[in-house]
């Protein structure tokens, strides 16, 4: 539980440091119509959630590699 919480904390910090991808207005409106979403707020909620999960997974893999490579006995 502690490692999962720390990974989520690191992903949250990365989300604050790395901005989420900025979609253009035409692309955003096209995605809203293709995905059958209500409005742009719902689209950007999905974008931020996916961005948060992606950064968490990348940081987990990097930290796991570093731990196993240099710090594990």
The pLDDT value recorded for residue 70 is: 87
CB 32 within 8 A of CB 43: yes
32-68 pLDDT, tens digit per residue, is 999 999 999 999 989 988 887 887 788 788 878 888 8
1 — pLDDT class (breaks 50, 70, 90) = low
Please tell me what DSSP assigns to residue 20. P
Residue 5: Cβ within 10 Å count: 9
Rounded distance between C-alpha atoms, residue 21 and residue 11, angstroms: 15
Tokens of residue 47, six digits: 């974008």
Q: Whole-angstrom Cα distance, residue 73 to residue 65? A: 13
């Amino acid at each position: 539980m502690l490692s999962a919480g720390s990974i989520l904390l690191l992903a949250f910090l990365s989300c604050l440091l790395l901005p989420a991808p900025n979609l253009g207005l035409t692309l955003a409106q096209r995605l809203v119509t293709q995905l059958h979403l209500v409005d742009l707020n719902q689209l950007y909620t999905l974008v931020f959630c996916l961005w948060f999960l992606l950064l968490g997974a990348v940081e987990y893999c990097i930290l796991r590699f570093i731990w196993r490579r240099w710090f594990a006995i």
